[in-house]
Amino acid sequence: MSTAFQPMSPDEKDRFRSAYLAHLRARDGVPDLAAQRFDIRERFFARIDASPLCWKGTPPVDQGIFDRNYSRSSPERGLDEATLWALATAKTNRAERFGVEREFEAHGVPANAAEDPHVYIQVEEFYHTRILEDALAAVGVRMSVSKPGFTTQMLVRTMVHLPDDLSDVMVLCGEIVGVAIFSLLLGKARTLFAAQPEALARVETLFAQILVDEVGHVHFVRSRLTAFQLGWAKRLLPLVAHGALEDLPELVLLFGRKEILRHAVAADVDAAAAPYPDRFVVNAA
């Protein structure tokens, strides 16, 4: 059963915050929001950079077709699954990254950054773009960072300036939808790229990082909400999921709208991180 909407008592919230902060410190190290980096996390990427790995032979995705479609709001007709996967993967963290950038512009670095889980989450979102770039590189695709579609940009800008107790309800929904999308993409990668186990293993390692982070984000936002707000988040989740899909037509073509919504609304975030020993376990809080 989903824990994503379970309210926490004030005591549980206190315990959660200190346990989550300890988890973030051990996982990421010291956050540097202005430089968008963590000291410990950099070591993970140094290992990835030290062993560049690429698809052997003809990549499953044609770079020219990818580039042409990446700049379009909806893809050309008739693209194969691997190309749709690459496009959806490249586009899927754009809204979160855009939100974090606008937030940073609007609020800067808080005084007690190293004590604030929210700062860690912001830096993790920057890493997610890098992770997705590396995942695409493993299947032979180069991508550059781009902005989400116009409507998503407007929505994100509005959310950044809403009072916290309103925006957090929407943010919780966004994080839950993110977990659903990343776990669907990972599942699809397993069937699409099984022919080259090394490349697939790299995609698995990178997606594991994102899934562990994102499930932590869900529980952190949940810990900031009251039972009343969580009730609203549950009701608004299908709407937010629909909105997110407007900007990800490749994902809809790959899985079908119904399947994505079913997965998102189930909100089974703990199952998504269950295989990973470095995940944050809420009950241990």
Closest distance of CB 197 from Fe ion, Å: 26
How open is the CA angle 107-109-112, to the nearest 5 degrees?
120
Contact indicator for 221, 179 with CB cutoff of 8 Å: no
Q: Which is nearer to Fe ion, 175 or 247 (CB)?
A: 175
Task: Name the minimum Å distance from CB 65 to Fe ion.
Answer: 26
- Burial tier of 218 (Cβ tally within 10 Å: 0-12, 13-18, 19+): buried
Nearer to Fe ion, 79 or 211 (CB): 211
Closest contact distance (angstroms) between CB of 154 and Fe ion is 20
**From the CB of 93, what's the least distance to Fe ion, in Å?**
5
At its nearest, how many Å lie between Fe ion and the CB of residue 103?
A: 12
Instruction: Give whichever of 93 and 196 is closer to Fe ion, judged by the CB atom.
Output: 93
Which CB sits closer to Fe ion, 66 or 220? 220
CA dist., res. 152 & res. 99, Å (int)? 10
Q: Which helix (H) or strand (E) holds 43?
A: helix 39-50
Closest CB to Fe ion among 59 and 216?
216
Q: Which residues contact 136 (CB under 8 A, 6 or more apart)?
A: 86, 89, 90, 142, 143
- Sign of the Cα torsion 233, 74, 132, 189 reads positive
Instruction: Read off the tokens for 182.
Output: 């990343």
CA dist., res. 242 & res. 220, Å (int): 23
One-letter amino acid at 162 equals L
Provide, rounded to whole angstroms, the least separation between the CB of residue 272 and Fe ion: 12
Q: Between 79 and 88, whose beta carbon lies closer to Fe ion? A: 88
- CB neighbour burial string for 251-282, b if at least 16 within 10 angstroms, e if fewer: bbbbbeeeebbebbbebbbbebbeeeeebbeb
| Residue number, 27 or 217, with CB nearest to Fe ion | 217
Chain residues in the site for Fe ion (CB under 5 A): 93, 96, 125, 128, 175, 214, 217
- In the complex, the smallest distance separating the C-beta of residue 9 from Fe ion, rounded to whole angstroms, is 25
Pick the closest to residue 91 from 154, 133, 48, 121 (CA basis): 133
